[in-house]
Amino acid sequence: MNAIQCKMARVALGWGTRDLAENANISPDTVARLERGEQLKDSTIAAIRAVFEAAGVEFIPENGGGVGVRLAKRTKPL
């Protein structure tokens, strides 16, 4: 997960930086640092990614079209 994917995932979920920080048990400043492209501990990145994945975000790797995110398909209708 990179800075762009973090921002994209937050927007897809309708989360602000404080929402992500609260859900990942990190500070809002840590979210801002990630989104500025600063280096974070691998364990912090893993925690953020786990929170996004638990919320239904799928990370798309570089495959010639660029990295990205998408929301997982719902198994049940709304």
pTM for the full model? 0.85
Q: Which alpha helices (DSSP H) does the chain contain, by range?
A: 3-13, 17-24, 28-35, 42-54
Give the whole-angstrom CA distance, residue 78 versus residue 71.
Answer: 15
CB 5 within 8 A of CB 49: no
Q: Which pLDDT tens digit goes with each residue over 10-64?
A: 999 999 999 999 999 999 999 999 999 999 999 999 999 999 999 999 998 887 6
Bridge partners, residue 69, by sequence: 59
The CATH class that applies to domain 3-71 reads mainly alpha
Domain extents in the chain: 3-71
